[in-house]
Structure 1
Amino acid sequence: MSTSTATPSVTLTKEPPLPAEPVPEPRTDKPARARAVELQGLRGLAALSTVVFHVWQQYYTYDAAGAHPPVDNPYLGALISLEVIDLFFVMSAYLLTLSYARAAIDGPTARGSGVRSGRDFLFRRAVRILPLYFLAVLVVWSSRNPTLPGDWRDLLGHLTFTHVFDRDRIFYTLGPTWSLSLEVAFYLALVALGPLAIRACRRLATRRARVALCLSGCGALFVAPVLWIAVAHHVLDVPYTNWPVYFGPQARFGGFAAGMALAVLLVALGERGRVDARVTTPLALAALGGLYALSYTADPENVPHTYYHPLAALLWFVLLFATLHLRERDGRRVRWHGLLRARWVTGVGLISYSLYIWHEPVLLELDQRGVLPGGQLGFAAGTLIVVAVAVGAGTASYWLIEYPAGLLVKARDARGAPRAFYPERAGGTTR
């Protein structure tokens, strides 16, 4: 990272959270509300871990005095650098796919199966993402390009979400927002594939066949990026520093596919399939252990590094399954569920998108002004300073920008915008 026009983060693979995804409105039962709170808490913890990672990266990777080993402790370094980007991909895809999965498996009249029109869906996502994102891009880019035309390709790429395909500029301006480009690509894919899946499932007579079709589709979407990575690495010998090859949607869509599969699986199992803490707790611990082992063993170009993200997506899938499919009476007793419901954790989850947008500019500005203490012992103090300032900036950004922009969604709904793509629910026309 640097404070110049370009802020390439050449080892930047761990990213902060994407915009919070609400549990679909028709799900108003108590277990669904409890799980929604816990997902927000999980998002908050992951957001904080991301800020800590980027402070570590600033101290030990981009330190002007020279690179240092990860906190001089490989075990702690593996924990700090444990990547969470795939968690947000899986979580986002799960929440946004739920209504499609319910409509495909149980039909358009099933509870919670109201599928929004593609136009309404994209409008809601745009309102949630674009106002803050465009403002931040313009502010940060202009501060680093005081003389026009500046690096106009960088600005154009960020404004069109195509910077993920630019090897030189993928991490410029707002370095972490390469992942937002993938999120936007997923939105477009979902509004195209979701209705097709529902129509295909209508032709199947049994629920089991519909579930099998949906899961097989998710499996194909997961395998395709793995094959892409295998060909790029083993056949074409593309180095991992060719960022668009390994960071683009063709390589990272597996996280979204895992989230889509999670939505299908939980809809298929239903409330009667919930399991108790004696099953879910070992599953969660195994997933966390696997994620740590993956982080510890991954080195550039080895197998854990090459296939890190597909493997991480599967492990986050298991962790989210253990979180979401727990019996409600057990959820009140399990300690880690209590942590996810803690107010300070869910509060960070609420502002996580603003924290995502602003934490890197805050970090770089503090470092440029000499606010961050030096030396290895300074890492802990520097982390506390950056977290405090970034959380403050994120809180202000949420209430001043995100929240007011979100009111546009309610205003449009109040005017009677179509909520479903089915002809029988949209006045006889498909939208």
Structure 2
Amino acid sequence: MSSQPAPTRRIDSIDGLRALAFLSVFAFHTWEFAGRPYVPVISSVVGQNIRPDFFVVLTGFVLYLPFARDGSRLDSFATRSYLTRRLRRIVLPYYAALAFAVALPQGLVILMRLLGRDASWQPWPSAGDLVSHLTFTHLFFVDHWDGINGSLWTMSLEMQLYLLFPLLVLAIHRWGVRALLGAIVVAVLFRVGVAVAVDGPRFPDEFLWGASGLGRLMEFAAGMGAAVLAFRARPDLGRLRTAGLALGALCSYWVATARWPISEVLPLRELGLGALFAAVVILTLRTGLSRVVSVLPLRWVGLRAYSLFLVHQPVAWYLSEAMTKFGGLEQGTGLLAVLWTVGLVVVVAVGLVLWLTVEQPCIRWARAVPQRRPAPLDAVGAESRPRQGEPA
């Protein structure tokens, strides 16, 4: 048994896409904090709120990437090693972000009082908030899903997808890539069942069921499928295939965002966005778009996107409050401009602290998971042979 960390090969353009996914999250929330001002074209795009869908597709792509590069890895996939790496990679930064979200408002109250201004203590999270968030189960509770940091409901979704991933790998090992189509069918049937069976309001009751791992499984499977297609395609797609993918992406966006009566039952939005972002990933990897999204600033942000995402909402929210209460700015395009410039710099600065102090050490900790001798995939808790090129 070797304790050496497995070498990794990052794909610069995927880091660029991660940066764009984070920036779409940041743009949406700051647009909301600024009062949803109307900005031609920009407001209609930002207001679609497609950011979690993009992240889910990218998650499926990155997790399945080693197997798309080398199909023989399916023979020795180790569930225990995989879960150990995932938990070491994501849990401590998430916990640190929860602590930051709880401490930040209290620290600001202390600061305001030291400056001689009135400030009221903010309520502490309930026991239910803390337990559900710490166990990644908050998405299952109407009263707690957004209790500490409203944007971190996606962490419960991500954990569910991490737990579903070994089942998908096992299914692909037995039935081939067509198992991903089966996963999409299961997700669609689940969403239809939710639409029929849930008696509560569409938001948040039906939304929370639809935002679960099974509810978003079609987007996750689309990301895995994108990894397969990207590495089976020729290095140069050619003009015809490129045009076909681009047209497919546009049609998928139309399907996802148009108002269809049947979308009350069928998850056309998630199916469309899954296809859209899968096409975007393939086009990025196999066309000149790769050079566009691989520029250094985007790669730099993409590498740190997890930390930036974890802290962006409370930082941007309290900054927007400070701008309106003490900076004389009213909600509107002026406030939005400040949040998209100064606010982004502040979020990056705070996120960089989390990256340096918590996330980066956790990445090294995850890479140090011992690699063991290969064993059959069908064995429960099977161990894996050393892996090359596994993404961080």
Bucket of the pairwise TM-score, normalised by the shorter protein: 0.7 to 0.9
Checking the alignment, whether the CA contact within 8 Å between 1:228 and 1:251 is kept in structure 2 is yes
Matches within 5 A, 1:191-270: 191-195=166-170, 197-198=172-173, 200=174, 213-233=175-195, 239-241=201-203, 242=205, 243-266=207-230, 269=232
The match for 2:332 is 376
| 1:97 to 2:64 alignment | yes
Query: Which amino acid in structure 2 is aligned with residue 91 of structure 1?
Result: L
RMSD over aligned Cα atoms: 3.4
The match for 1:79 is 45
Checking the alignment, whether the CA contact within 8 Å between 1:287 and 1:319 is kept in structure 2 is no
Question: 1:310-362: per-residue Cα shift (whole Å, max 9, x none)?
Answer: 220111112212223x2xxxx4xx2x322211001111101100111000010
Secondary structure, aligned partner of 2:37:
helix
Once structures 1 and 2 are overlaid, which stretch shifts more, 349-358 or 87-96?
Answer: 87-96
How far apart, CA to CA, are the structure 1 residues paired with 2:6 and 2:88?
17
- TM-superposed CA distance for 1:368, in Å, is 3.0
Secondary structure, aligned partner of 1:72:
coil
How far apart, CA to CA, are the structure 2 residues paired with 1:408 and 1:87?
27
- TM-superposed CA distance for 1:420, in Å, is 5.9
Query: Which amino acid in structure 2 is aligned with residue 259 of structure 1?
Result: G
Q: 2:313 aligns with which of 360, 384, 390?
A: 360
Q: TM-score with structure 1 length normalisation?
A: 0.72
The match for 1:17 is none
Q: How many corresponding residue pairs?
A: 356
- CA spacing shift, 1:287–1:353, aligned 2, 3 Å: farther
Question: 1:381-431: per-residue Cα shift (whole Å, max 9, x none)?
Answer: 232222111111122221222112222234x35xxx12565259x9xx944
- CA spacing shift, 1:114–1:44, aligned 2, 3 Å: farther
The match for 1:186 is 161
The match for 1:5 is none
The match for 1:63 is none
- CA spacing shift, 1:154–1:117, aligned 2, 3 Å: same
Q: 2:247 aligns with which of 283, 286, 290?
A: 286
- CA spacing shift, 1:237–1:321, aligned 2, 3 Å: farther
The match for 2:79 is 118
How far apart, CA to CA, are the structure 1 residues paired with 2:304 and 2:147?
23
Question: 1:65-100: per-residue Cα shift (whole Å, max 9, x none)?
Answer: xxxxx5335743221124132222122212212344
Checking the alignment, whether the CA contact within 8 Å between 2:192 and 2:265 is kept in structure 1 is no
The match for 1:317 is 278
- CA spacing shift, 1:274–1:96, aligned 2, 3 Å: same
Checking the alignment, whether the CA contact within 8 Å between 2:252 and 2:275 is kept in structure 1 is no
Matches within 5 A, 1:1-12: none
Secondary structure, aligned partner of 1:369:
helix
Secondary structure, aligned partner of 2:216:
helix
- TM-superposed CA distance for 1:196, in Å, is 5.3
Secondary structure, aligned partner of 1:167:
coil
Once structures 1 and 2 are overlaid, which stretch shifts more, 275-284 or 74-83?
Answer: 275-284
- CA spacing shift, 1:168–1:235, aligned 2, 3 Å: closer
The match for 1:129 is 90
Checking the alignment, whether the CA contact within 8 Å between 1:40 and 1:349 is kept in structure 2 is yes
Aligned-pair identity in percent equals 25
The match for 2:109 is none
| 1:387 to 2:382 alignment | no
How far apart, CA to CA, are the structure 1 residues paired with 2:8 and 2:241?
22
Question: 1:188-240: per-residue Cα shift (whole Å, max 9, x none)?
Answer: 22224424543x2xxxxxxxxxxxx3232111111222222223335656532
Checking the alignment, whether the CA contact within 8 Å between 2:180 and 2:221 is kept in structure 1 is yes
Query: Which amino acid in structure 1 is aligned with residue 353 of structure 2?
Result: A
How far apart, CA to CA, are the structure 2 residues paired with 1:406 and 1:255?
25
How far apart, CA to CA, are the structure 2 residues paired with 1:247 and 1:401?
28
| 1:276 to 2:251 alignment | no
| 1:338 to 2:295 alignment | no
How far apart, CA to CA, are the structure 2 residues paired with 1:141 and 1:195?
40
How far apart, CA to CA, are the structure 1 residues paired with 2:309 and 2:26?
9
How far apart, CA to CA, are the structure 2 residues paired with 1:306 and 1:423?
37
Checking the alignment, whether the CA contact within 8 Å between 2:257 and 2:269 is kept in structure 1 is no
Unaligned runs of 5+ in 2: 107-120, 384-392
- CA spacing shift, 1:305–1:176, aligned 2, 3 Å: farther
Secondary structure, aligned partner of 1:314:
helix
| 1:396 to 2:360 alignment | no
Query: Which amino acid in structure 2 is aligned with residue 404 of structure 1?
Result: P
- CA spacing shift, 1:292–1:55, aligned 2, 3 Å: farther
Secondary structure, aligned partner of 2:143:
coil
How far apart, CA to CA, are the structure 2 residues paired with 1:300 and 1:396?
46
Q: TM-score with structure 2 length normalisation?
A: 0.79
- CA spacing shift, 1:245–1:55, aligned 2, 3 Å: same
How far apart, CA to CA, are the structure 2 residues paired with 1:276 and 1:72?
39
How far apart, CA to CA, are the structure 2 residues paired with 1:374 and 1:172?
27
Checking the alignment, whether the CA contact within 8 Å between 1:37 and 1:341 is kept in structure 2 is yes
- CA spacing shift, 1:114–1:177, aligned 2, 3 Å: farther
The match for 2:17 is 42
Secondary structure, aligned partner of 1:169:
coil
- CA spacing shift, 1:317–1:392, aligned 2, 3 Å: same
- CA spacing shift, 1:215–1:161, aligned 2, 3 Å: same
How far apart, CA to CA, are the structure 2 residues paired with 1:255 and 1:295?
12
Query: Which amino acid in structure 1 is aligned with residue 358 of structure 2?
Result: I
- CA spacing shift, 1:228–1:369, aligned 2, 3 Å: same
